[in-house]
Amino acid sequence: MPTRQATKQAHSLVFCPDCGSLLDPPSGAEDNVACGICGGVVVAAAFESVHVVTRSKPGAFPDRPLPRVVAGRGHDGAGESRTSQHLRDGATIKEKCPKCDAPEMVFHTAQLRSADEGQTVFYSCVKCGHKHSVNS
């Protein structure tokens, strides 16, 4: 995996000592930065001494999407597959699965188009995990 060379830049992780608001970094050759909330003043050099380190869990940014989990395979820490957990928690409807002809599916809706158009209904089969959507 290629690594990026760290570049020095002014961070806005300096807080106003008077009100605690996050300050905007200096925009140029300013000697002081004023708080936009209370008017408190901080020396611009304070932004140069801030060292920022971020950490993420190893799986937070996967290189590729997680594999599709089929019921009975691939378990999370609780011992239940991600697919069956999703299907168990969703609302069910008597809708025939186009892939395996199971009589019941789990569904959820989302408003993906403009407000004057219908919502999109997402279906998941409780038997085979097949997914499809319908614009209503």
Q: Known binding site for Zn(2+): residues?
A: 16, 19, 35, 38, 97, 100, 125, 128
**What ranges in 1-136 are assigned the alpha helix state H?**
82-89
What residues are designated binding site? 16, 19, 35, 38, 97, 100, 125, 128
129, amino acid identity: G
Nearest alpha carbon to residue 126 among 68, 70, 67, 65:
70
Do the beta carbons of residue 91 and residue 123 sit within 8 Å? no
CA distances from 118 to 20, 31, 110, 132, 133 (A): 45, 55, 9, 16, 13
